[in-house]
Amino acid sequence: MIEARHLTKRFGNTTAVDDVSFVVREGEILGFLGPNGAGKSTVMNMLTGYLSSTAGSVSIGGYDILEQPFEAKKHIGYLPENPPLYLDMTVKEYLYFIYDLKKVSLPRYAHIDEICRLVLIGDVMNRVIKNLSRGYRQRVGIAQALIGNPEALILDEPTVGLDPRQIIEMRRLIRLLGKNHTVILSSHILPEIQAVCQRVIVMNGGKIIADGTPDRLAKKLAPSRRVTLRAVGPMQDILSELQKSPGVHAIKPKGEAEEGAFDFSLEPDPDCDIRHVVSKRMAEAGLPVLMMRAEEPSLEEVFLKITDPAYGAVDDEPDEYAAYRQDYNQSAVLNPAPGADPAEDPNRAAAGELADEIFGERPREFGAQSGSEAPETEIPQAAETPEPENPVTGDEKEEN
């Protein structure tokens, strides 16, 4: 659907985007994640043709965004970080104006009415835009992006400035839009990406440093599996037994979870499964274990790890995506031979088959990380022992 090939953008001596290549497949919800200044918005602007690239190219539905802009832009709807609204128009006047600008051939009234029902702005159609709340303005911005029924939506920081209730409603709307559209979502807010995106591209310093589903990134880049334990008994007795357990590197007490039962977060030694050893030791000590579960690393942990300057960038992306990137970068699409037909390139075909296998599996969402944190307790090594989401109804009016 969307192909970016070796995108580079320089502003004077500053390189904002450095040799970025990726493919967005039809029906994907892709999140661009990165700290402020990572190059996300610059990439968004190049994808939509608002900025020309210093090097590289963008193809939308098979059309080059700079060589064939009119055809390419028929396939995309764009919501910039600040919605391009005419504040003195009513919502209806504005949407009709955008309809005419885009030269849409669909029936005007039925098409705009359908969009307004989808984004829940039908009750403000006759209101002046400057009197709408931030949440409603964002919805009007999405409505203008949907005019013409484009296959792809590009949303740059769509929840910026919204209150918590509006953010939840915006997430629901994006997930709903993802059922019938390809969606690219840019954000520096971790929960935003984790809540709605099937695939994440992490940028830092103008480069792609990771690419994969949140689940795959977490498993690949944060492989250490913490264990949460809940046991019954005196807290100090439980702590003492855990300190004697081989393979337990650090313990973080999390407090009393229920009457007489305490939770602990256990950090194992690398490549060590401590569950059997810990459960056996606790049973021998007469300290019943009520619960023991592996903690899933959060996207936040992954993000902090891979945006660290010492991190080794692309070499550590998940194996499947590394293979996909390698095959794609070798393909005739990016490096065409004179007179070659890209459709016959075996590397590109292999990459497409691999992508089908990867993207056909919708990742499960992470569970929330919870519990108050206490300083970790480093454990001295012990001797080895035998191991046996209602529609928005009330955005308030803002007074002039």
pLDDT tens-place string over residues 170-199: 888 888 888 888 999 888 777 777 788 889
Q: Give the helix/strand (H/E) hosting 328.
A: helix 319-330
Residue 28 contacts residue 182 (beta carbons within 8 Å)? yes
Please write down the long-range contacts of 348-352, taking CB distance under 8 Å and 24 or more positions apart: 351/324, 351/327
Please, which residues have CB within 8 angstroms of residue 394's CB and are 6 or more apart in sequence? none
Which amino acid would we find at residue 300? E
Say yes or no to pLDDT of 68 above 60.
Answer: yes
Beta pairing partners, 22: 4
- Confidence (pLDDT) at 350: 45
- Distances in whole angstroms, Cα of residue 74 to Cα of each of 44, 65, 203: 16, 10, 27
* Residue 132 φ/ψ, nearest 5 degrees: -90, 150
**pLDDT tens, position by position, 34-58:** 877 888 889 989 999 889 999 999 9
**Sorting pLDDT into bands at 50, 70 and 90, what band is 214?**
confident
Say yes or no to pLDDT of 230 above 90.
Answer: yes
The closest alpha carbon to 252, from 379, 382, 381, 383, belongs to 379
- Confidence (pLDDT) at 85: 93
Residue ranges covered by each domain of the chain: 2-220, 226-295
Say yes or no to pLDDT of 100 above 80.
Answer: yes
pTM listed for this prediction: 0.61
The closest alpha carbon to 63, from 74, 50, 52, belongs to 74
Q: Rounded distance, CA 216 to CA 397, Å? A: 43
CATH number at 2-220: 3.40.50.300
Q: Quick one: average pLDDT of 300-316?
A: 56
Please, which residues have CB within 8 angstroms of residue 207's CB and are 6 or more apart in sequence? 18, 19, 20, 39, 313, 314
Angle between helices 134-146 and 108-119 (to 10 degrees): 140
**Sorting pLDDT into bands at 50, 70 and 90, what band is 134?**
confident
**pLDDT tens, position by position, 288-303:** 999 988 776 666 666 6
Other CB atoms within 10 Å distance of the CB of residue 87: 11
How much helix, strand and coil, in percent to the nearest 5, is found in the chain? 35, 25, 40
Residues in the chain: 400
Residue 130 contacts residue 67 (beta carbons within 8 Å)? no
- Distances in whole angstroms, Cα of residue 195 to Cα of each of 119, 185, 187, 190: 19, 12, 12, 9
Please write down the long-range contacts of 350-359, taking CB distance under 8 Å and 24 or more positions apart: 351/324, 351/327, 354/320, 354/323, 354/324, 354/327, 355/23, 355/25, 355/324, 357/320, 358/213, 358/320, 358/321, 358/324, 359/25, 359/28, 359/198, 359/199
Using DSSP, state whether 204 is helix, strand or coil. Answer: strand
CATH number at 226-295: 3.30.70.100
